[in-house]
Structure 1
Amino acid sequence: MMLHPELEAFLDLAEANAGNAPLHRLSPEQARRVFQQSTEQLRWPAPAGLVCQSLHAPARDGAAIPLRLYRRPEAGGPLPVLVYFHGGGFVVGSLDSHDGVCRELCARSGCAVLAVGYRLAPEHRFPVALQDGEDCLAWLATEAQALGLDSTRVAFGGDSAGATLATVLAIQAARLGEQAPLVPSAQLLCYPVTDASRQSVSRTLFGEGYLLESDTLEWFYDHYARTPQDRHDWRFSPLLAEDLHGVAPAIVALAGLDPLLDEGRAYVERLREAGVAVELIELPGLTHDLLRMASVLPEVLEVHERLGAALGRAMG
């Protein structure tokens, strides 16, 4: 499988001009600054005519979790809503880093998008990010009507580590049944982390030179976990969950040159074995974090269109 030529040229240029060490050689604070710099460099003209509202949800420890709600200006309510968790290995990333992604999904799906600014590690280690997600869902269940959102048509989604959070929240909802504050109608999972407990062939094949390095994954996991045993907790590695029956139908996008490819495929297989409907979108020649690459590779906008259309169909 060949790397897309334009993406290969971008990665070569980035390596040649690298003024920063790889993320795994930086402190979390330094890594966040570098990730924010990359956000500015990768910015593209994402849909600008959306209504964007800043909100907060209360966390169980009294903290305020920042949220950002996107909707199309002409949309009437109540709207279906995608609750979106950004990527960044639980250590980097923010509402701003994935603003363009949320705008594309909102504009192309017909759904509102509620982006969650969950707290990051190592200041807030596992399972704080997940608990922030739980608390935001509980808040949304009570506030949806006032916000013009339809609490019966909710999707959980995200990319990378954010997709992991969405995955776990969907499993929890299936297990809680009627006791769940919100039961998702769908999941949108873009190159999720599903198994941090072991290596895979794709981790070896694509662990260096394809944007996300295997050493950086280990750095992320070490900062997020309290102890090495946390990696074996299904809430950290959802591929290890014993039962996936009743989980919401999933739209899963996987990059062909991603260290996480094999575990993403394995999770799709587990879902299908449990009778869960899965729409799998494999993207050969592309790397991890591809949703933020529209300025490098215009074809990424076609990926946004495919994901938005799939989400719109799933949410009716």
Structure 2
Amino acid sequence: MNMDSLDHLILKEAPPLDPAWLAYEEEASLQAPKEAHALPLNRQPVYVEECRQLNARMLAPGALYHHLSHVSTQQLTTASNLDGSAIPLLRFFDGSVEPASKGEGVVVIYYHGGGLYVGEADSEELSCRRIVSDFAGATVYSVGYRLMPGFPASNCVSDSLDAFDHVRALHPSARKLVLVGSSSGGQLAATVSQLAPRGSFHGVVLRCPVTSDGGSSLDLVPERLRRAYTSASPSFVTSLLGVFGRAVPRDGLERMPLEAGAEELGGMPRTWVQVCSNDTLYSDGVCYAMALREAGAEVRVEVVRGWPHTFWLMAPGLARAVEAEREMVEGLIRFHDHAFSWGSKKNARAFSSTLVPASPASSSSEADSPNSAIEQLPNALNGSQAASSSSPETSNTVDSIEHNNGMTDEIDEKIQQLKEQHGMILQGEHGMVLREMSARAYIQLQTARKLRLLVAAAGF
């Protein structure tokens, strides 16, 4: 398996959808005909209200995400360099952190998704709140860029750049500045990363990003990457997203992020790409990672196998959605903490964390018992740490760890069993306090596994 080329990530067809997603899809009637809107402008306020109602439910007392409600918010604006229009910024921060510490911490600029047609600065606030809550000292600025069709796509880009410049000016002493974007927000984050001055930011996190117009025509994908661009096809279509085609190529933009040259991509800071295997934009993320890798940039690809496009936004209460959000925060932390270093550029490897779909809920009494899974956590954590220290050979490459270390495979199988049990607890009827407690324990277990792999990959 050639990890440098990332060819192992090419999917000719999408895998089966995870049973947990299929169950949710049926419960939420996502396959039912959706309300049609004659004009995209009519859809915008509907989408915004749907997002706000969902976020409010998830943050309410007793709800799964209520612990994120302590994160403070502040409405800000900056002026467009095009016409002076106000660009909304929603700041998320921990009000308990001393002001002197805030300016020196990690600053995240977040670009929401929505195809450049829908969404506002608060549409993905659960993700923004989680970053602040889980990443001590972080401040997040979510950008409310202008939308099509009321404004051209070029305004989306210029607003995103203006917001970037404004946040940089607000935090001249920030230790790290990281760009984060989901879906079309990933397109904007990638575009800003290519246009911003070198050295002005420290990392990029892309979640199911749009990087090309391959859904309109394969001719709009760079020729060297066309063999890998496979996801704009029926097997990747789900209830959340069809093939992403455009009436006007590239929405009228001069180019898409995937079309950048090697000289532009080669100087990029570390990039973390999260893709879903059952997503017509899967190849957008994978091909962009390939282009970065070819140009010599450090990149990691995280594959969420068996799940559709940005499902954590539609179903934030699912166990796998919680995990996907935690993985995103872990990706951010690696830009900040040198203890999480990926090693030298020579030894860095992009790898995928392809997760086995959770099996349907078992009827056994042990699996159904909330305490049985929680009581196994200390042993599982100790087992992960022991495996790291007792491995006969510690390789600098993650692929050799994943595929050549039998002890690692055995531990990963044990971890997967625990994941499935925790997933049942999270989706069971044991009460919200227990649900939250088991989620924390579950994430600790996942973090232990990732730390083991990362430390070994860095050669420590």
Q: Residues 131-167 of structure 1: CA distance to partner in whole angstroms, max 9, x if unpaired?
A: 001111222232225xxxx445100111001011110
Matches within 5 A, 1:65-214: 65-75=87-97, 76-77=101-102, 78-110=104-136, 111-144=138-171, 150-173=173-196, 176-177=197-198, 183-197=200-214, 198-199=217-218, 200-206=229-235, 208-214=237-243
Is the 8 Å Cα contact of residues 78 and 87 (structure 2) preserved in structure 1? yes
User: Do structure 1's residue 62 and structure 2's residue 84 form an aligned pair?
Assistant: yes
Q: What's the secondary structure of 1:48's corresponding residue?
A: helix
What residue in structure 2 maps to residue 297 of structure 1?
A: 318
Is the 8 Å Cα contact of residues 207 and 259 (structure 1) preserved in structure 2? yes
Q: Does 1 or 2 have the higher relative contact order (CA < 8 Å, sep 6+)?
A: 1
Q: Residues 70-98 of structure 1: CA distance to partner in whole angstroms, max 9, x if unpaired?
A: 11233332221110000000001112211
Q: Which runs of 5+ in 2 are unaligned?
A: 1-14, 60-64, 219-228, 338-460
- Per the alignment, do residues 185 and 30 of structure 1 end up closer, same or farther by CA in structure 2, a change over 3 Å counting? same
Is the 8 Å Cα contact of residues 316 and 322 (structure 2) preserved in structure 1? no
How far apart, in 1, do the equivalents of 2:326 and 2:277 lie?
19
TM-fit CA distance, 1:238: 0.9
User: Do structure 1's residue 249 and structure 2's residue 249 form an aligned pair?
Assistant: no
How far apart, in 2, do the equivalents of 1:142 and 1:15 lie?
43
Higher Cα Rg: structure 1 or 2?
Answer: 2
- Per the alignment, do residues 273 and 231 of structure 1 end up closer, same or farther by CA in structure 2, a change over 3 Å counting? farther
Q: Which runs of 5+ in 1 are unaligned?
A: none
Q: What's the secondary structure of 1:102's corresponding residue?
A: helix
Q: Residues 232-281 of structure 1: CA distance to partner in whole angstroms, max 9, x if unpaired?
A: 733xx211111211012101100110000112111101111111111211
What residue in structure 1 maps to residue 51 of structure 2?
A: 39
Query: Runs (4+) of structure 1 moved beyond 4 Å?
Result: 16-19, 229-232
How far apart, in 1, do the equivalents of 2:25 and 2:315 lie?
14
User: Do structure 1's residue 3 and structure 2's residue 20 form an aligned pair?
Assistant: no
> What's the Cα RMSD here?
2.2
- Per the alignment, do residues 74 and 271 of structure 1 end up closer, same or farther by CA in structure 2, a change over 3 Å counting? same
How far apart, in 1, do the equivalents of 2:304 and 2:250 lie?
33
How far apart, in 2, do the equivalents of 1:124 and 1:50 lie?
32
How far apart, in 2, do the equivalents of 1:168 and 1:55 lie?
23
How far apart, in 2, do the equivalents of 1:102 and 1:135 lie?
20
Q: Which amino acid aligns with 2:284?
A: E
Match for residue 285 of structure 1 among 302, 306, 313? 306
Specify which structure has the higher proportion of helix. Answer: 2
TM superposition score normalised by structure 2: 0.60
Q: Which amino acid aligns with 2:169?
A: T
User: Do structure 1's residue 52 and structure 2's residue 73 form an aligned pair?
Assistant: yes
How far apart, in 1, do the equivalents of 2:96 and 2:204 lie?
25
TM superposition score normalised by structure 1: 0.85
Q: Residues 270-316 of structure 1: CA distance to partner in whole angstroms, max 9, x if unpaired?
A: 11111111121110111112231444522211111121122022123
Q: What's the secondary structure of 2:48's corresponding residue?
A: helix
Match for residue 284 of structure 2 among 256, 263, 269? 263
How far apart, in 2, do the equivalents of 1:300 and 1:26 lie?
32
How far apart, in 2, do the equivalents of 1:275 and 1:295 lie?
35
Q: What's the secondary structure of 1:262's corresponding residue?
A: helix
Is the 8 Å Cα contact of residues 251 and 280 (structure 1) preserved in structure 2? yes
Is the 8 Å Cα contact of residues 232 and 281 (structure 2) preserved in structure 1? yes
